[in-house]
Structure 1
Amino acid sequence: MSLIFLPLLPGFALMAAPLVASEVWLHIWLDPQWSFALLATLVSTLISVVGALCLSLFIVCGLWPSARWQGYVRRLPVLLAFPHVAFASGFLLLFSDHGWLMRLLPFELPVDKEGVALGIMLAFKETWFLLWFASLQLNQQQLEQQLTIARSLGYGPLHSRLLTLVPQLLPRLGWALVATTAYSLSVVDVAVILGPSNPPTLAVLAWQWMNDSDPLQQAKGMAASLLLLTLLAGLILVGRIVWHWVGARLGQFSGYRSALDIRIFSAGMTTSLAIIGFAAVAILSLWSLADGWFYPALFPNSLSLSGWQLADYDTLLTTLWLALVSSLLGTAIVLLWLEGCPRRFDLWVLLPLILPALPLAAGQYQILLRIEQEGTWQAVTWSHLLWVVPYTLLVLKPAWLRLDPRHALVARTFGWSGWKILWCIKIPLLLRPLLGALAMGFSVSVEQYLPTLYAGAGRFATVTTEAVALSSGGDPQQLAIQALLQIVLPAGMFIFTLQISRLIGHYRQGLR
Structure 2
Amino acid sequence: MSLKLVNFIIVLSISVFMLIGILGIIAPAFHYLPAIGANEISLDPWKELFLAPEFISSIILTLISGVTATFLSLMIAFSVVAAFYDSKILSIFRKSLAPILAIPHAAIAIGLLFLLSPSGWLIRLFTTFERPPNWITIQDPYTLSLIFALVVKETPYLIFVILACLPQLKTDETLKVGRSMGYNVATIWQKILLPMIYPLIRLPVFIVLAFSLTVVDLALIIGPNTPSTFAVTIFRWFKDADLNERFSASAGAVFLMLFIFVIFIIWELAYRLLYFCSKKKLTTGNRSNLSQSFFQLLGSLYFFILISVILSSIILLLWSFAKRWRFPDILPSTWSFRNIERNITLLNDLSFNTLTIAISSNIIALIISLALLEAKRQQSCKKTLFDRLIYLPILLPQVGFLFGIQILFIKSGISGHFLSVIILHVFYTLPYVYLTLHSPYLAFNQNYLVQACALTHKPYKSFLQIKLAMLKAPIFSAFAIGFSVSIAQYLPTLIAGNGLINTLTTEAVTLASSGERKLVSLLALIQAFFPLIVFMLAIWLPKVWTPARLALKHYLYMRFSDSHSYTIKN
Report the TM-score, using the length of structure 1 for normalisation.
0.92
1:48-63 alignment runs, 5 A limit: 48-63=69-84
Q: Which amino acid aligns with 2:55?
A: W
1:7-406 alignment runs, 5 A limit: 7-17=17-27, 18-19=29-30, 21-66=42-87, 69=90, 72-73=93-94, 75-103=96-124, 104-105=126-127, 109-110=135-136, 112-140=140-168, 142-248=170-276, 249=278, 252-258=282-288, 261=292, 268-311=300-343, 312-313=346-347, 314-341=349-376, 342-345=382-385, 346-406=387-447
Question: How large is the Cα RMSD of the aligned pairs?
Answer: 2.6
Secondary structure in 2 aligned to 1:98? coil
CA contact (8 A) 1:90 1:281 kept: yes
Q: Which amino acid aligns with 2:233?
A: L
Secondary structure in 2 aligned to 1:155? coil
Structure 1, 251-260 or 18-27: larger mean CA deviation: 251-260
CA 1:127–1:62 in structure 2 vs 1: closer, same or farther (change >3 Å)? same
Match of 1:475 among 516, 540, 558: 516
Give the corresponding residue for 1:493: 534
Give the corresponding residue for 2:558: none
Report how far residue 408 of structure 1 moved: 5.5
Q: Which amino acid aligns with 2:272?
A: H
Cα distance in 1 for residues equivalent to 2:367 and 2:92: 30
Give the corresponding residue for 2:561: none
Once the two structures are superposed, residues 157-203 of structure 1 have per-residue CA deviations (whole angstroms, 9 ceiling, x without a partner) of 21111122101111111110111111111111111101111222111
CA 1:400–1:265 in structure 2 vs 1: closer, same or farther (change >3 Å)? farther
CA contact (8 A) 2:79 2:296 kept: no
CA contact (8 A) 2:76 2:302 kept: no
Cα distance in 2 for residues equivalent to 1:52 and 1:267: 10
CA contact (8 A) 2:75 2:298 kept: no
CA 1:39–1:418 in structure 2 vs 1: closer, same or farther (change >3 Å)? farther
CA 1:355–1:245 in structure 2 vs 1: closer, same or farther (change >3 Å)? same
Secondary structure in 2 aligned to 1:291? strand
Structure 2 residue runs without a partner (length 5+): 1-9, 31-40, 377-381, 550-570
CA 1:412–1:303 in structure 2 vs 1: closer, same or farther (change >3 Å)? closer
CA contact (8 A) 1:292 1:301 kept: yes
CA contact (8 A) 2:107 2:524 kept: yes
Q: Which amino acid aligns with 2:342?
A: L
Once the two structures are superposed, residues 244-281 of structure 1 have per-residue CA deviations (whole angstroms, 9 ceiling, x without a partner) of 12223258231212176468767744443322111110
Once the two structures are superposed, residues 2-41 of structure 1 have per-residue CA deviations (whole angstroms, 9 ceiling, x without a partner) of 4455431122113322256321121122221222211221
Structure 1, 362-371 or 14-23: larger mean CA deviation: 14-23
Report the TM-score, using the length of structure 2 for normalisation.
0.83
Report how far residue 238 of structure 1 moved: 1.3
Cα distance in 2 for residues equivalent to 1:299 and 1:369: 49
Give the corresponding residue for 2:544: 503
CA contact (8 A) 1:143 1:164 kept: no
CA 1:497–1:403 in structure 2 vs 1: closer, same or farther (change >3 Å)? same
CA contact (8 A) 2:325 2:333 kept: yes
Secondary structure in 1 aligned to 2:415? coil
CA contact (8 A) 2:80 2:296 kept: no
